[in-house]
Amino acid sequence: MIRIVSVAMTFVFLTSSAFAQSAVEKGKAVYTAQKCSICHAIGGAGNKKGELDHVAGKLSESDLRSWITNAPDMAAKAKAERKPPMKAYSTLTKDEVDALVAYMQTLK
């Protein structure tokens, strides 16, 4: 019985880890497809004025999601006056936003 539970727990851990990894990879693909590097940089690649390397250490998951889906309100809240201002990416699907947030959360 203990062995069955142990095997089941290992399976759950491995599949959830694989799912998280695939979400991160999809998030990287969304970042690239949306041409985010025109305004932002990760690992020195892209526009250095919008560096995101440590964004996960500064913003919560909820804040990251809000910056993606409602950037004008977040910019006003943060008193961010970057030109041009970030637009809200309302055309992204929920899965794309989730993946982009998962990717941003790896940037600590």
In a domain, 30, yes or no: yes
In a domain, 8, yes or no: no
Q: For residue 51, give the CATH number of its domain.
A: 1.10.760.10
In a domain, 41, yes or no: yes
Residue with tokens 């990879």: 25
* Cα–Cα distance for residue pair 77/49, rounded to 1 Å: 20
Residue-wise pLDDT for 45-100, tens only, equals 999 999 999 999 999 999 999 999 999 999 999 998 888 888 888 899 999 999 99
What amino acid occupies position 55? V
* Cα–Cα distance for residue pair 98/79, rounded to 1 Å: 25
User: Is the per-residue pLDDT at 37 higher than 50?
Assistant: yes
In a domain, 6, yes or no: no
Residue-wise pLDDT for 43-56, tens only, equals 999 999 999 999 99
Structural domain boundaries, residue 55:
20-104
> Which H or E run includes 98?
helix 94-104
Number of structural domains (the chain) is 1
* Cα–Cα distance for residue pair 49/61, rounded to 1 Å: 22
In a domain, 48, yes or no: yes
Report the predicted TM-score, pTM, of the whole model to 2 decimal places: 0.77
Are residues 98 and 24 in contact, defined by beta-carbon separation less than 8 angstroms? no
